[in-house]
Amino acid sequence: MPRASVDTHCPYCALQCAMTLGEPDASASPSSTAPVSVTARDFPTNRGGLCKKGWTSAELLGTASRLRVPLVRGADGELAEASWDEALDLVASRLRGIRDEYGADAVGVFGGGGLTNEKAYLLGKFARLALGTSRIDYNGRYCMSSAAAAGNRAFGVDRGLPFPVEDLDAADTVLLLGSNVAATMPPFIGHLAGAQSAGGLVVVDPRRTATARLTDDGQGLHLQPAPGTDLVLLLGLIHQVVAERLVDADYLERRTIGYAALRRSVSSWWPERVQSVTGVPATALRRLARRLAAGGNTFILTGRGVEQHVDGTDTATAAINLALLLGLPGRPGSGYGTLTGQGNGQGGREHGQKCDQLPGYRKITDPAARAHVARVWGVEPEAIPGPGLPAVELLQSLGRDGGVRALLVHGSNLVVSSPNVAAVRDGLASLELLVVCDFVRSETAALADVVLPVRQWAEEEGTMTSLEGRVLRRRRAIEPPEGTRDELWVLAELARRLECPATFDTDPERVFEELRLASEGGLADYSGIDYAMLDRGEAAYWPFPRGGTGTPRLFDERFAHADGLARLVPVSVRPAVLEGPAPDELTLVTGRLLEHYQSGAQTRLVPELLAAEPELRASIHPATAERLGIADGELVEVENARGRVCCPALLTTEVRVETVFLPFHFGDDRAANLLTSDLVDPVSAMPEFKTNRVRLRPAARPAGRLAEAGAPI
């Protein structure tokens, strides 16, 4: 039975909508398995609203698919039930053997952006001290890495929104680049109402999404560039702002460096040339540049659509450059930000899950940072390994000579969410040991040698950090199912079996107290935050130093570089962007649906959500369908050298004629990432998720060319 009414936050996206969990709803459907009711709670981010996923989130807690006992793969190749001692003893024994034979870096750890701050922190500590490995990274590498890299080099710090979400309410112009917030975080669109009513909502997306439709009827502007040309569009906007002398010269002089080099770098991107590459009319480009520079309250926001590319860091950097030219970051009522996706995507990357970071957003190569964290952990700095491998490179090393031989996975469904999924499956199959912590038998858990059943969001205590850098309390509302364990306990038990000399607490509040010490003095300083403060409902935006106050607005006075100045960083366009698809190819665009979340491991278990979107469908333009002889609902094959996906076609004018859209929420042979490339951004190691070339044909048609050479797409 649930405890008395408990205030907590939604288990899905980084908006972290507030909700209250209480007694089961007597009026609920007889088929409901929810052990608690969900009531939306008034809070700055959601203001009493929830999306479909939030309203149905309690169904996950009672799903029949729930794992309640550890599973171990036997000699017959099947997963069978085992006791916790049997499972953990086996894992520890196998890990010791692999380390002894191949070295500590033969063991890898893969984390997740949905883990609480406490679990993310302890996972990083466990990897580096109990395992002694540098090979740890997490699925946030697929989400926020390009935006983070761009923010760090421009501002000296990475926080998704360096201002509270509520600041957007007074905006009269919002440029939203590559984010379909109406589907990914619906309550967020309430914060765009002011810009809508002023006719200043500008959405840049190659698809005519639900967010793009918010600009209809004079509510703003939708720019629909060719996929992968967002950087060209932004360089064109910068060119126009410079050419028309729309820059904030005083701001540039006082708060930035690098303007002269940036000005020279965009000289060749005049509007008509940008139009020839992007398809966006030159008149619209000029109109937008003038709107952004007109004064008033203006914000530029980016999302995954412009960041999940091999040039994602440069694209996010161009968006920051534009914002700096206009004097937006740190100006009251204006700003720049990026919309963090996963529930704890912000906090999850601050405290040690990333291959190159230590708690507090410290660089693992910084001797002072290593010394500080070593003191908190009670070890010598030399005991902390150096930087490891980012996610894609980590997965590419699986089973190889000198690579990872054993992998522990926490909070991630790798064989759905990773690029080039077939290669990832092969890598996992080559491991000597795969251990997965999950609450259901996800597609990744189904491949594991050991599956450890862990607890869910409403069964645990902890903290999360929202997209605006606000630390929030997650609270236990119900008792967890018998047989499940908290991941803090799992890590502590494995650390004990591995004879790690460091301490591993299992109490979330005590772990947070240690996190506070480890983060103190870092960019993401949590040392002034504690559970009592959060339980009183006080707003806690990091950095929040001990004895100080929080920082809801980061850049009011200075940026995080030593001299306090932001960097304008010139970027350039890769030649491949100018080529476009071949005549018989389409560009694959992947993304999300309103009803589903990430790999779908959670939302596909909720009957209402699955009924609304039960299967993968390939969205194609009617003109493309007519040319290829494809009818609405007909089975089609989408393929390239990496893989093939078969699914029904959905004819819609929401996509461009040279594209096909696939949502990435489905697994097995319906995984969109069977088709995506594992080439990565050289700065952020972000994979190319958005502009992969594919061929499309009716499933019954023999393989071969899809169109005559030179036929228009």
Q: What is the CATH number of the domain that holds 35?
A: 2.20.25.90
Domain CATH code at residue 136: 3.40.50.740
Residue 360 and residue 279 share a domain: no
Phi-psi sector, 272: left (phi>0), alpha (psi -120 to 50), beta: alpha
Q: Is position 312 within any domain? A: yes
Q: Which of 359, 317, 353, 346 has its CA nearest to residue 162?
A: 346
Contact 301, 264 (CB under 8 A): no
- Grouping H, G, I as helix, E, B as strand and the rest as coil, residue 512 is helix
Domain final residue pick, 62, 89, 109: 62
Structural domains in the chain (count): 4
Q: Is position 551 within any domain? A: no
In the block, tokens 């044909």 appear at 697
- Rounded CA-CA distance 347/524 in Å is 9
Tell me which DSSP letter residue 675 carries: S
Residue 255 and residue 149 share a domain: yes
Domain CATH code at residue 208: 3.40.228.10
Q: In terms of DSSP bridges, do strands 335-338 and 644-651 run parallel, antiparallel, or are they unpaired?
A: unpaired
**pLDDT of res. 533:** 96
Contact 143, 342 (CB under 8 A): yes
Residue 593 and residue 687 share a domain: yes
In the numeric block, which tokens belong to residue 304?
A: 């995954």
Say whether pLDDT at 704 is over 90.
no
Residue 613 and residue 652 share a domain: yes
Q: Which of 314, 574, 339, 588 has its CA nearest to residue 468?
A: 339
Residue 693 and residue 591 share a domain: yes
In the block, tokens 């929202």 appear at 466
Residue 289 and residue 218 share a domain: yes
- Rounded CA-CA distance 589/207 in Å is 9
Length of the chain: 713
- Grouping H, G, I as helix, E, B as strand and the rest as coil, residue 661 is strand
Q: Is position 706 within any domain? A: no
Amino acid at 105: D
Q: Kindly report, residue by residue over 101-110, the tens digit of the pLDDT.
A: 999 999 999 9
Residue 627 and residue 691 share a domain: yes
- Rounded CA-CA distance 369/388 in Å is 16
Residue 410 and residue 318 share a domain: no
- Minimum mean pLDDT among 30-34, 305-309, 437-441: which range? 30-34
Q: How far is CA 43 from CA 15, 165, 187, 466, 542, in A?
A: 11, 11, 11, 12, 18
Contact 476, 486 (CB under 8 A): no
Q: How far is CA 699 from CA 119, 441, 668, in A?
A: 45, 30, 18
pLDDT tier at 713, thresholds 50, 70, 90:
very low
- Grouping H, G, I as helix, E, B as strand and the rest as coil, residue 363 is strand
How many beta carbons lie within 10 A of that of residue 216, not counting itself?
Answer: 11
Q: Is position 705 within any domain? A: no
CA angle 361, 364, 368 (to 5 degrees): 90
Average pLDDT value for residue range 546-554:
96
Rg of the chain on CA atoms, in Å: 25
Average pLDDT value for residue range 195-202:
96
* Cis peptide upstream of residue 543 (ω within 30 degrees of 0): yes
Phi-psi sector, 694: left (phi>0), alpha (psi -120 to 50), beta: beta
Contact 236, 229 (CB under 8 A): no
Which residues on adjacent β-strands are paired with residue 272? Answer: none
Contact 248, 242 (CB under 8 A): no
Residue 124 and residue 158 share a domain: no
For 464, the enclosing helix (H) or strand (E) is: strand 462-465
Contact 528, 545 (CB under 8 A): yes
Residue 329 and residue 425 share a domain: no
Q: Is position 502 within any domain? A: yes
Q: Kindly report, residue by residue over 47-89, the tens digit of the pLDDT.
A: 999 999 999 999 999 999 999 999 999 999 999 999 999 999 9
For 618, the enclosing helix (H) or strand (E) is: strand 618-620
- Rounded CA-CA distance 319/307 in Å is 11
Average pLDDT value for residue range 362-389:
97
Contacts of residue 359, defined as CB under 8 A and 6 or more positions apart, other chains included, come to 121, 124, 350, 351, 352, 373, 376, 515, 518, 519, 522
CA angle 133, 340, 44 (to 5 degrees): 130
DSSP code per residue over 318-360: HHHHHHHHTT-TTSTT-EEEE---STTHHHHTTTT-STTEETT
Average pLDDT value for residue range 548-573:
97
3-state helix, strand, coil in the chain (%, to 5): 35, 15, 50
Domain final residue pick, 472, 491, 508: 508
pLDDT tier at 608, thresholds 50, 70, 90:
very high
Q: Is position 541 within any domain? A: no
Average pLDDT value for residue range 399-418:
96
Q: Is position 536 within any domain? A: no
Contact 438, 414 (CB under 8 A): no
Q: Kindly report, residue by residue over 486-507, the tens digit of the pLDDT.
A: 999 999 999 999 999 999 999 9
- Rounded CA-CA distance 711/285 in Å is 29
Positive or negative, the CA dihedral 178, 209, 163, 111 is: negative
**pLDDT of res. 701:** 61
**pLDDT of res. 678:** 95
Domain CATH code at residue 685: 2.40.40.20
Domain final residue pick, 287, 318, 338: 338
Say whether pLDDT at 246 is over 50.
yes
Residue 179 and residue 217 share a domain: yes
Q: Give the relative orientation of helices 271-278 and 282-292 as an angle to the nearest 10 degrees.
A: 120
**pLDDT of res. 33:** 86
Q: In terms of DSSP bridges, do strands 256-257 and 107-111 run parallel, antiparallel, or are they unpaired?
A: unpaired
What domain range is 621 assigned to? 578-698
Q: Is position 54 within any domain? A: yes
Residue 496 and residue 431 share a domain: yes
pLDDT tier at 709, thresholds 50, 70, 90:
very low
